A and B are shown apart, each in its own frame.
Chain A
Amino acid sequence: MTLHDLEKSFQAKIDAEIKIEPKDWMPDAYRKTNLRQISQHAHSEIVGMLPEGNWITRAPSLKRKAILIAKVQDEAGHGLYLYAAAETLGTSREQMIDDLHSGKAKYSSIFNYPTLTWADMGAVGWLVDGAAILNQVMLCRTSYGPYARAMVRICKEESFHQRQGFDALLVLSKGTPEQKAMCQDAINRWWWPSLMMFGPKDSESTNSDQSMKWKIKRKTNDELRQHFVDMIAEQIKLLGMTLPDPDLKWNAEKMHYDFGEINWEEFWNVVKGNGPCNKQRLEARNKAHQEGEWVREAALAYAAKKAERLQKRVA
């Protein structure tokens, strides 16, 4: 078969909603795009543990602490599912980790914002996990099999993340004036960065929609973002709080909420590494990796020794 034939039968499979599996033929660009996207997604789960890990020792009750630990542990699991999916495309775990630690590979910019108060744990769960879930639900149907399967597993675990966040905010919203203020302040700080999670506006992209054609993605940034705004604009009423956007308004004609313009300068700045915590996050990851080095080596040495002993006994 010529390359052209291979590409044609590949696209035919995609069109027929047949999943692509690791050993199937795939175009180079399909492999690379998936690799980049899945590994970035994995890095986001791992780096995403840092802003929340920040509050584990300071959670206001044992119950909240247990919940937060469970959530952060889930995120570690999500990172692992995704790294494993990326490895099926022919990269190694070490390569991906190295690229994260050198700053070569990216992760979601949202995790470059600081978590300043306890209310941030609520806002992150509700808004950040909430935004991520919309993307991840879509990805459950992505065309690359291992990625789709990882997403199904992740989605099952995510919904508790969003609910516990809303639950934490709900308690604060019924608390003392200080607690209410803390709740509103966290929402104010996390709202815009959450909207940025969906990426630039569709009109910004002039290039061909290859990711859509290959069904890696099935919804555009703007579609997902609108869905998110419509959802949150209703939910916030239950908290008795407000979103920090004077332009937010129900549009009866469109049957959607209108909302204000995102600060794109801030968006690109954080992507390029100048967010409030970019440096801190990478340092934390590097430190953890370096300090774990001896453990990784010791485990390997121990496994080798055990295998050797077994061999001797057999001989």
Chain B
Amino acid sequence: MSIRIQKFYYGDIPEEKSGAFMPSSMANEASSGWPLWEVFIRSKQGLDHKHAGSLHAADAAMAIENARDVYTRRQEGISIWVVESKYVHASNPDDAESFYDPASDKVYRHPTFYDLPDEVKHM
């Protein structure tokens, strides 16, 4: 595709004005540095762990310590999970339409599908 961004926006110095880089390979090549970890944080007792972001660390202990420094500087969490990103498997967004299709025609799974008389209370 030949669209070129040439407008110089705040925070985006265009290619011809700098040596802005083009990564040699767009592929997710294994980096020689520390592996990538996904961080999940429980913000409060009773709530689920929620994805907060990712970071690099040499091992799990370091990942947890770094996650504390990066994601909980203002008491945003009381529990941290980390998992090496390579172990996360994801559904394919290209298949989303067919993958989630079976649920789309089953409105009767929702309470609002049932039109009951107003006299029925507490249901």
Chain A residues within CB distance 8 Å of chain B: 3, 7, 21, 23-25, 27-29, 31-33, 35-37, 39-41, 44, 70, 73-74, 77, 80-81, 84, 87, 90-96, 99, 103-106, 108, 135, 139, 149-150, 153, 157, 197-200, 204-205, 207-211, 217, 220-221, 224, 268, 271-272, 296, 299-300, 302-303, 306-307
A299 close to B58 (CB less than 8 A) = yes
Whether the pair A87, B23 counts as a contact (CB closer than 8 A) is: no
Is the C-beta of B111 less than 8 angstroms from some C-beta in chain A?
no
Partner of B73, one of A74, A84, A150: A74
Whether B15 is near chain A, meaning CB under 8 Å from some CB there, is yes
Where chain A touches its partner, the secondary structure class is helix
In the complex, B28 has a CB within 8 A of chain A: yes
Beta-carbon contacts under 8 Å, B1-56 to A? 1, 3-13, 15, 17-24, 26-29, 31-34, 36, 53-56
Inter-chain contacts of A23 with B (CB < 8 A):
90, 92-93
B55 to chain A, nearest CB (A): 6
- Known contacts: A36-B20, A77-B73, A210-B5. The answer to whether A31 contacts B59 by CB under 8 A is no
Interface residues of B in 62-120 (CB under 8 A from A): 62, 69-70, 73-74, 90, 92-94
Assembly CA distance A302 to B28 (angstroms): 25
A211 touches B20 (CB 8 A): no
Question: Are the CB atoms of B5 and A211 closer together than 8 Å?
Answer: yes
Q: A208 vs B9: C-alpha distance in the bound complex, in angstroms?
A: 12
Taken together as a complex, chains A and B put the C-alpha atoms of A40 and B31 apart, in Å, by: 20
- Find chain A residues with CB under 8 A from B20 CB: 36, 40, 104-106
Listed in ascending order, the chain B residues whose CB lies under 8 Å from chain A are 1, 3-13, 15, 17-24, 26-29, 31-34, 36, 53-56, 58-59, 62, 69-70, 73-74, 90, 92-94
Q: Are A200 and B55 in contact (CB under 8 A)?
A: no
A40 to B18, CA, bound (A): 11
With a cutoff of 8 Å between Cβ atoms, the chain A residues found around residue B56 in the complex are: 93
Q: Is the CB of A3 within 8 A of B1?
A: yes
CB < 8 Å neighbour of B13 from A40, A90, A135, A303: A40
What is the chain B residue whose CB lies nearest that of A37? B12
Give the contacting residue for B70; candidates A28, A37, A80, A135; CB below 8 A: A80
Would you call B59 and A84 a contact (CB within 8 A)? Answer: no
CB atoms of B9 and A28 under 8 A apart: no
B18 A105 Cβ-Cβ under 8 A: yes
Q: Is there an interface contact between A197 and B10, defined as CB atoms closer than 8 Å? A: yes
Q: Are B58 and A303 within 8 A (Cβ)?
A: yes
Contact of A104 among B21, B28, B36 (CB under 8 A): B21
Chain A residues lying within 8 Å of B21, measured Cβ to Cβ, are 36, 39, 95-96, 99, 104-105
| Nearest-neighbor residue (CB-CB) of A24 within chain B | B93
Q: Are B70 and A77 in contact (CB under 8 A)?
A: yes
Closest to B38 in A: A84
CB contacts between A and B, total, < 8 Å: 151
The reply to whether A90 and B26 contact each other, CB–CB distance below 8 Å, is yes
Distance (Å) between the CB of A223 and the closest chain B CB?
10
Other-chain residue from A24, A209, A296, A306 in contact with B33 (beta carbon distance below 8 A): A296
Q: In the complex, A91 Cα to B22 Cα: how many Å?
A: 9
Task: List chain B residues, Cβ under 8 A from A87.
Answer: 36, 54
The complex places the Cα of A24 from the Cα of B96 at a distance, in Å, of 10
User: How far is A74 from B74 in the complex, measured between Cα atoms in Å?
Assistant: 10
A94 CA / B25 CA spacing, docked (Å): 13
B1:A28 contact, CB within 8 angstroms: yes
Report whether A299 and B73 are in contact in the complex, using a CB–CB cutoff of 8 Å: no
A90 touches B23 (CB 8 A): yes
Closest 3 CB pairs of A and B: A303-B59, A299-B58, A104-B19
In the bound assembly, the distance between CA atoms of A70 and B22 in angstroms comes to 34
Query: A40 to B20, alpha carbons, bound, how many Å?
Result: 9
A271 and B18 within 8 A (CB) = yes
Report whether A95 and B23 are in contact in the complex, using a CB–CB cutoff of 8 Å: yes
Contact between chains at A105 and B10 (CB < 8 Å): no
B75 CB to nearest A CB, Å: 13
Take A95-B23, A104-B21, A302-B58 as given contacts and tell me if A33 and B5 are in contact as well, using a CB distance cutoff of 8 Å.
Answer: yes
Q: For the complex, give the distance between the alpha carbons of A23 and B62 in Å.
A: 28
